[in-house]
Structure formats: structure tokens, C-alpha cells
Amino acid sequence: DHEPEPSLATTGLTKAFGGVTALDSATVTFHHGKVNALIGPNGSGKTTFFNCVTGMIRPDAGRVAYRGRDLTGRPSHRIARAGIGRSFQLCRVFPRMTVLDNLLAAVRPRSLAGQLARAGGREETERARGWLARMGIEHLERAEARQLSWGQQKLLELAGVLMSEPELILLDEPAGGVNPALIDRICDLVRELNAEGRTFLIVEHNMDMVMSLSDHVVVFDCGRPIAQGPPSLIQSDERVLGAYLGV
């Protein structure tokens, strides 16, 4: 077995809010072509990590690289253009816009989303329909997003992320608040999309999902990695048990 190829990688990534160190010189590498998971107790810095690597907040120190290319401090749209897509814990969709328009808006500037979405090109509309079919919600294309169940809204958001054809997809708690049947559907989709060549980095509290889905798990505690490896090793790592149980 050869060395895994690096995907997203950080060196000494540091971010403090007032007196609270959210990221404490975090040096971590995720694997290209794999399903990676980032886990850790509440407050361990996972969200701040996502926000720093997607350009939503600026780190105080350290570097962010994607496939060897430096992206430190770049704005979100540049990070997106580099091939990195992201979903949010609290699911970002336009509630009063139709499902189809949400997807067209996902690849257009937000301020103009409404008008431009309706003028969406034929090719883009077909691509949007393709992703909706893939998510199993194509029958809802004319519904307003707010009419969808929470799990369906998560699928809609994922379809929106896929509209930009990212090669690395960051998912922030994809199973959070989602019913078990839809969790299975999301897992299947991640597996399929990964088999098609997309890399994933998933922050998730559902340990069954993390352990069954991921190839590589990184565990954060107090703003830095304390363990990393395949799920089988992580599950029995004493530092990991300690971080979760506070022993």
C-alpha cells in the first residue's frame, strides 16, 4: 500500500476568540480520494477549523493548503473555485425559493439569485434536475424549500454544493436531526460520490455513521488533533476515549 495523497492540509493553524483558543496550532492532513472524518467533543474546534479552511474566518497563524496549493486567508469564493464545497450544520437554503431555483442560485451571486435563477440556462437546469434525481427529490422541484422536511433540505443543500462540481466536499453534521432512513440515503450518496472520485471531509457526531463511512478519522481535542487513523484504530484509542469521557 502506498502513501495516501494529501488533500486538504493545515500547518500550525491557530485561531483565538478573545481569550478562548479555538484552534491551537493544528497540523493535520486529510487524504485525497477518501472519506475523511473530523470528530471531537463539543468545543474542540471542528467548526472553527471548517470556517478557517473555507475562508469564512481568517486564522491568526498557520497555513491552509489544498493539494499542495496555498489557500491561507483566501476569500470563500476563491476557495470554492479551487474545488472545495461545503454544507452547513444549520443547512443553508433559500426557504421561499423553489427547490430548482435554489440549485440555480447555488452557482450564482446571492444578491442576484432570484432573478438570475429564473433566467437559468438550459444546460444548468438539466444539471440541476440531474442532481435532484440523484438525491431522490426531483418530484419536489417546484416546491418551496421550506416545504421540505429537514432531511430533504439537507439533500437539497448537498445538491446545491454539487452544482459547483467540487472535488472536495466538506459536510458539517450531515446526519444531524435527520431520520434514520434518510441517514442511510446520505451514507449511500457519500459512498457513491466518493467512488466517482470525490473526496469527503465530514464533521459528524453520529459515531456509527463515522465508523462505517470513513477511511480516515482525525480526532480533535482542545483545538488540535490528538489521534488519527483508520476507524478501527480510533475506536480503541485511549486518548480518544479520554477526550470524550473527560478522563
Runs of H (alpha helix) within the chain: 46-53, 76-81, 99-106, 113-118, 122-135, 150-162, 180-195, 207-213, 231-235, 238-245
Which residue, 59 or 120, has its beta carbon nearer to ligand ADP? 59
How big is the chain, counted in residues? Answer: 247
For the CB of residue 226, give the shortest distance to ligand ADP in the complex, in Å.
13
Site size toward ligand ADP (CB under 6 A) is 11
C-alpha cell at 114: 432570484
Stretch that binds ligand ADP, among 46-54, 64-72, 147-155, 157-165 (CB under 6 A): 46-54
Look at the block and give the residue holding cell 497540523: 27
Characterise 116 by phi-psi region: left (phi > 0), alpha (psi -120 to 50), beta (else). Answer: alpha
45 belongs to the binding site for ligand ADP (CB under 6 A):
yes
14 belongs to the binding site for ligand ADP (CB under 6 A):
no
225 belongs to the binding site for ligand ADP (CB under 6 A):
no
CA dist 191 and 41 (Å) reads 25
Q: What is the dihedral of CA 55, 39, 213, 64, to 10 degrees?
A: 30
For the CB of residue 22, give the shortest distance to ligand ADP in the complex, in Å.
3
For the CB of residue 19, give the shortest distance to ligand ADP in the complex, in Å.
9
Which residue, 48 or 87, has its beta carbon nearer to ligand ADP? 48
46 belongs to the binding site for ligand ADP (CB under 6 A):
yes
Q: Which residues of the chain form contacts with ligand ADP (CB under 6 A)? A: 17, 20, 22, 40, 42-48
